[in-house]
Amino acid sequence: MRKSADVVIIGGGSLGCSVAYNLAKKGYKNIVLLERKYLSSGSTGRCGAGIRQMWGTEMNCLISRGSAEMFKTLGEETGFGDIEFRQSGYLLTTYDPKQTERLKKNLLIQHKLGIPSHMITPQEAKEIVPFVNTDGMDAAFFCQEDGHINPFKTTFAFAKGAQDLGVEIIRYNPVTDIKYNGRKITSVVTEQGEILTDTVVNAAGAWCKNVGKMVGLSHPVEPERHQILITEPLESSMGPMVMSFAHDSYIQQVPHGGFLMGYGNPNEPKRINFNHGWEFLEQMAQKAVFQLPILKDVRFVRQWAGHYEISPDGQPILGPVPELDNYIMALGCGKGFMLSPMIGKLIAEKMAGEETSLPIDILSIERFAKGELIVETGVV
Amino acid sequence: MDEKNIYLCRCENFTLKELHDLLDSGITSMEEIKRLSRGTMGPCQGKTCRDLIAKEIAIYLNKSMSEIDMPTYRAPVKPIKLGEIAGGDKNA
C-alpha cells in the first residue's frame, strides 16, 4: 500500500470506482481507492440493476440522461467488454389518479430535457408487457431508453479503467480514522496502515455518515434497507422494468433470464442491516403475483438485502463541504449506481477546478442548511 | 484434461479455464469471482460448487481454504414457487 496519495477515495462501489476512473482520465497520478470488503459489496452489487431517466427533478433527469449515454461506451472504452446495458425500457404503473397527475407533471421536466418518456393507457401497457395485470391500473408511463445494466460488470469496468491508469485499489481494508488539522486533512488511517493525503472523496454510500463523523461532520443521509429476490432463469419474455408506485416495488427480467424483484419497507428503522427476512418474501411474492400473475409458478432461488441512502430531498450530495478543504462528497442517495458515470465525471471536473458539465453546486450539502431543497418524489 | 472442459459450477457453466482467466487478470477475491462469473449463483445455491471453486482459488494463491473469502449461502435452501409463498398462511 502506498504511504501517501494525492487523492484517497473511500468506497469501492460504482461511485467510488467511477470517481477514480474519471480522476485518472484527467491526469491525476497518485490515487488510492479503499474498500472495506470487496468491490461492489455495498449498495451497488445489491441493487435492482435498473437504469431510469424518468425522474421528477431536473438534476436527477440530467445526471441520469448523461449517464445513460456514457454507459453505452463504458465497456469498450475501459477494455472490460460487455456490461450488459440493455435499453429495454421502464414501465411505471399507477393505481391512483393523484399519483398519475404527479407523474404527468414529471413528464414536462423530462420532455424539456430530451427524455423520450410518455404516458400510456393500461391497454397500451399490455401491448408492451402482455401478461401485466391491468386490474385497477389507472395509467402507465414508459421510456424505452431506460433499462438494465449489470452492476458488477459496470463496477469492474470502472475499476479496470482506473487501475490501467495507475489507481491503486485496496480491498478488505476499512478506514478507521481521518486525521485533520483545522481545515486541512492530513491522513487517512486504515486497518493496514496510514496514508498521508490532503484530499478525501467520501463515496462510502451506506457508511457515508461514519466517514463524515471521522472529520467531525454530520451528513443527513440514512441507510434504508431494501430486499430483493431473483427467480430461476426463464426464456426472455419481458423487456422493461415494471415499477409500481402502489406496490413500492420493481420487477425486471435480467439478461440471464431470472426475474429480479425488490422493495423496501419505508417504516423500518434506518440502519445498516444486511439480514433478509421471511416477511419480505411473502409480501414481495404477493406484489409480484398480483402484477404479473404468470410468475406464480416460477421458483425463486435467492434473496438478499442492501441499502438506499436516503437524503432529505432524494437527490445526490456532490462536491466540497464548507467546513473542510478538499473533502469531497460523492453520494448518489438511493440511485448512485445508475448515476455513477456522470457523477464520477462531474466530481472529477469539480476537483480539477474546471467548469462542470452540469451545475453541481446546487447539489452541494450546503443546500440543507440553506433550505434550498428540490424534493424528488419518484423514488421507489 | 483441458481446463475448458472442467466445469466447476454446473448450474452456471463456469469452467476452470474461466476461473484461471479471472485469477490471472488479478481478481482473486472469491466474492468478486462469484459476481463476475455467476459461479455459485444457480439453482443449487452453490451447494455443489462453492467448495470446489474455493479449493481451486486456494491452490492458485497457495493459501489455505480458510483464507479464502467464501460467499455466504443465501436463502432459500430449495427453490420455491412464488405462488406458494404469496398464499402465506393459507398454505399452512
Q: List the domains of chain A with CATH numbers.
A: 7-47+152-221+313-370 (3.50.50.60), 86-144+225-307 (3.30.9.10)
Cell numbers 426475474 correspond to what residue? A259
Q: How far is CA A330 from CA A12, A297, A307, in A?
A: 12, 42, 16
Q: Is A17 left (phi over 0), alpha (psi -120 to 50) or beta?
A: alpha
Residue in A39, A286, A302 nearest the CB of B74: A302
Q: What residues of A are in contact with residue B35 (Cβ under 8 Å)?
A: 40, 45, 152
Verify whether the Cβ–Cβ distance A304 to B27 is below 8 Å.
no
- Block means of pLDDT (10 residues each) for chain A, 380 residues, are 97 98 97 98 96 95 97 98 97 96 96 97 97 97 97 98 98 98 98 98 97 97 96 96 95 96 90 92 96 96 94 94 98 93 98 97 93 80
Q: Which residues contact A370 (CB under 8 A, 6 or more apart)?
A: none
Shortest CA distance from B40: residue in chain A: A302
Query: All 3 cell numbers of residue A211?
Result: 466517514
Q: What residues of A are in contact with residue B31 (Cβ under 8 Å)?
A: 37-38, 41
Residue in A41, A156, A276 nearest the CB of B31: A41
**Is it the case that residue B89 has pLDDT exceeding 80?**
no
pLDDT at residue A266 in the model: 82
> Residues B3-61: pLDDT tens digits?
999 999 999 999 999 999 999 999 999 999 999 999 999 988 899 999 999 999 999 99
Kindly provide the ipTM of the predicted complex, given to two decimals.
Answer: 0.94
B41 in contact with chain A, both atoms CB, cutoff 8 A: yes
Residue in A38, A285, A299 nearest the CB of B29: A38
Verify whether the Cβ–Cβ distance B35 to A285 is below 8 Å.
no
Distance of residue A132 Cα from the nearest chain B Cα, in angstroms: 16
Closest CA relative to residue A279, chosen from B76, B85, B84: B85
- pLDDT-derived band of residue B88, with 50, 70 and 90 as boundaries? low
Its CATH architecture, for the domain B3-91, is Orthogonal Bundle (1.10)
For residue B80, give the amino acid letter.
I
Verify whether the Cβ–Cβ distance B36 to A152 is below 8 Å.
yes
Distance between CA atoms of A254 and A28, rounded to whole angstroms? 36
Residues on chain A bordering chain B, Cβ-to-Cβ distance under 8 angstroms: 37-41, 45, 152-153, 156, 163, 171-172, 231-232, 256, 276, 281-282, 285-286, 288-289, 295-304
The domains of chain B are located at 3-91
